[in-house]
Each structure stands twice: as structure tokens, then as C-alpha cells.
Structure 1
Amino acid sequence: MQRWEAPEDGWIKGNADGAVAKQRNNGGGGVILRDHQGAFLAAAGFFFPHCTDPEGAEIRACLELLRLARNQNVQRILVELDCQAAVQMINSQERNLSAVGPWVQEIKGLLEEFLDFRVVWTRRSANEAAHKLARVSVGDERSRVWVGVPPDFILDIVANDIPNLF
């Protein structure tokens, strides 16, 4: 089981995850930003109405993560996703012509605004906070942002990732 690990000094780690509720034809995304000590910076949950494609939800969550990071003045970002196909699309040098292509191209453009960036795959077990944010957003059918203090429903995950933080 892989656990969340803090990024190197000077970097911010952003985890993103997408989720879908096919019975309701909706999706959502969860994103969280933490610093090199594991300290919580910001998080958000997004509701994506009429989104039934898990890969599309993951790509949209990554896009929202980068928007949040830009708004928080992040300079160096390590993006972790638990969808290998999404990571491959984002890291590909070729233009993406799939249904999610416009979002992938927008992600690539946003990444260029950072001083440095990396987009990597991680296991779901190291992406629990983003996954929980996504699931809650789909269930609640609403989008929310938290800055400075994490929402109560991910406190235990954040605390378990960095035991000495709380």
C-alpha cells in the first residue's frame, strides 16, 4: 500500500481525482494542495453535471487543481493523479484529439505558467484525500473551496498522511 509522501522542499504537491455516479449521470473532482512538510494549503471539490466518463472527470479535476494552484501563487507543482491514462495524455508531446483533448491542451498550457512542474501517477491509496473530496462533491452535487483549513471530512486523512502535523 502506497502512502502519500510530501514533495521536496520548494515544491507544492497537488493531488487530484475524478469520480462519477453513473446512476445519476454526474461526476465530480477533488483536489488538494500541500507543501513540502505536508501542511494543508487549499482544497476543493467540484460537481460536474452530466459527466459519466471517469477519465473525463479525472482530466477536469486536474484542470481545476491547476487553476487553484495558480490562484494560490504556487510556483513549482508536483501533480499526482491515480489515472495512468490521464497522466500519459498530459505528458504526451502530441496534441490530444480525443473527446477530452481540449481540456488536456488547456492543462498543458496552464502547466507552462509554473516555474517548474511534474505530472506523475500514484496509487489510489496515496490519493485518498482527493478521492474523498471528489466523492463528497458528486454526492452533494455542489462545488466548494477551502483555504488554510481542511474540511472536517478529510481531517483524518490529512492527519494520517503526516502524523506529526496535528
Structure 2
Amino acid sequence: MDGATEAGGGNSYIGVVIRDSYIGALSLVLPSCFPTETIEAYALLHGVLFASEMQIDQAFFESDALSIILSLSSRVAGNDFSHILEDIRVASSTFSHCSFHHLKRDGNRAAHTLAKEAKSSGQSKIWKGILPPCILNILRDDLM
């Protein structure tokens, strides 16, 4: 998952990729400009909800937003996005196994590309059973 915002206001954008045995992706336009940490938390929430919708039983979620991953595991309250973190915890409780991990920005290129796709097209899109053409080369490079 990855999130992005427009400089100077406007919309926020989310990209999510599901790999391995279930294939799917989404790019979302959110009609509001959120702070960086908030949009990253929303990206994670949408990733969890999408995986649940795809009926995935065991999930390994990755994000380049270290502060979100740390806040999620520490259960610290009082930040601007703690309500989103609680939604993530509730939504992720449906999986038989679920874990959240930080990865470096370089490892999150496919999701970032999908967030940029939402920004350039101005449209939300969902792919189920296939991957969008804009990330095929990135995923192929990651496997090599």
C-alpha cells in the first residue's frame, strides 16, 4: 500500500497491490487532501479491506510508512489517525493470520505507481484477477 497527496491541497491518492495466490490491485482518489501520515493510514486500511473483500485468509501487509506500522503495533493513541488504526485492527481481525511490516520505499514501487495512476487519471480503479499494465514491469523486476 502507498498513499500520496497533491502539493498545495487537492485530492489524496492510494495504491494497493495484492500479490501471490490472489491477484488484484486498486488505485483510489480520495476527494480531500490529508496529511501524509493520515493518507498512509488510509492506504493501509483500504489494503486490509480489499484483501478481506478478495477473501484472503492469511495476509502479510507491507507499507513504507514506518510511523504507521510502529503506531499500529504499539497501540499508541492520541494521534490524528488513531481512529483509522483502530479500524485497521478491527478489519484485520477477520484473517486467520495477519501481520504488518515496514519495507523501504524502493520496495513499494508498484503501490506508489498505482497512487500516481489515480492522480494522473483522476479516477478510482479496481483490478481483480489481473494486474494493471502500469505495474507489470515493476513486479517482474521485483521477482528477478
Q: Fold match, TM over 0.5?
A: yes
1:111 matched residue in structure 2: 92
CA deviations over 1:10-59 (Å, ceiling 9, x no partner): xxxxxx00111123422111000111xxx660000111122231111111
Q: Using a 3 Å threshold, how does the CA distance of structure 1 residues 140 and 23 change in structure 2: closer, same or farther?
A: farther
8 A contact 2:13–2:29 mirrored in 1: yes
SS of residue in 2 equivalent to 1:22: coil
Tell me if 1:150 matches 2:131: yes
Q: Using a 3 Å threshold, how does the CA distance of structure 1 residues 73 and 57 change in structure 2: closer, same or farther?
A: same
Distance 1:50 1:22 in 2: 12
The Cα shift of 1:150 comes to: 1.0
2:56 matched residue in structure 1: 74
TM-score, normalised to structure 2, is 0.93
8 A contact 1:44–1:143 mirrored in 2: yes
Distance 1:99 1:140 in 2: 29
Distance 1:138 1:31 in 2: 14
Distance 1:134 1:56 in 2: 15
- The one of 47, 50, 55 equivalent to 2:32 is 50
Query: Structure 1: where are the runs of 5+ without partners?
Result: 1-15
Q: CA RMSD in A?
A: 1.5
Distance 1:148 1:63 in 2: 21
8 A contact 1:48–1:138 mirrored in 2: no
Distance 1:59 1:154 in 2: 22
- For residues 154-165 of structure 1, the aligned pairs below 5 Å read 154-163=135-144
Runs of 4+ more than 3 Å apart: none
- Matched pairs, number: 144
Give percent identity, aligned residues only.
25
8 A contact 1:40–1:150 mirrored in 2: no
2:14 maps to amino acid: G
- The one of 20, 23, 31 equivalent to 2:5 is 20
Distance 2:75 2:109 in 1: 29
TM-score, normalised to structure 1, is 0.81
Query: Structure 2: where are the runs of 5+ without partners?
Result: none
